[in-house]
Amino acid sequence: MIFASTKWECTLIAEPTWVIGPRAVIRTKDYKFAMKTRPRAGHTMTVATAGKDFRWAVNAKLKDIEPTLFDLRNDPDEIHNVAFDPRYRPVLDALRTKLQDIVLGDGRVEVVWTKHGGDKVHISNYAPDANDGRIALPMISKQESRK
């Protein structure tokens, strides 16, 4: 497998949570990958849940993170989820690792603010400097991915 380390260009990282629960998204020029980052649904961070399960997604099975992966070269309208297509597994693994390291392990801070103060600060830093602007993705030709 050939890996190409590329400097990110127009890469987007997002964490939508309000409707479907804690998720994270990474988008490169060629791919868009999204995954569930916590085992709960909806926007449910409370004093009891803040700082819990930082590494859940790292250890979770693929089906449990409810992944979506789109090959934007062949599917710019994001119609066909290829997350469970074995041809894309190396790409998915690289994007998953990079995304979870950035959003869950590179200085992640969670606090549930209360009006009384004294709020506990939870920090996860298992992947310091993961947000380095680089990602090594396996090269899958457009033709190979259409088979």
Does a structural domain hold residue 144? no
Domain coverage including residue 108: 3-135
Percent of the chain with pLDDT over 70: 75
Mean pLDDT of 3-27: 64
Predicted local confidence at residue 3, as pLDDT: 45
Predicted local confidence at residue 35, as pLDDT: 92
Amino acid letter at 88? Y
DSSP letter at 121? P
Does a structural domain hold residue 145? no
Does a structural domain hold residue 86? yes
Asked whether the predicted pLDDT for residue 2 surpasses 50, the reply is no
Overall number of domains in the chain: 1
Q: Which residues partner with 109 through β-bridges?
A: 123
The closest alpha carbon to 102, from 137, 138, 83, 128, belongs to 128
Does a structural domain hold residue 141? no
pTM of the full predicted structure?
A: 0.78
Does a structural domain hold residue 76? yes
Does a structural domain hold residue 142? no
Among 2-6, 26-30, 44-48, 91-95, name the one with the lowest average pLDDT.
2-6
Does a structural domain hold residue 140? no
Does a structural domain hold residue 54? yes
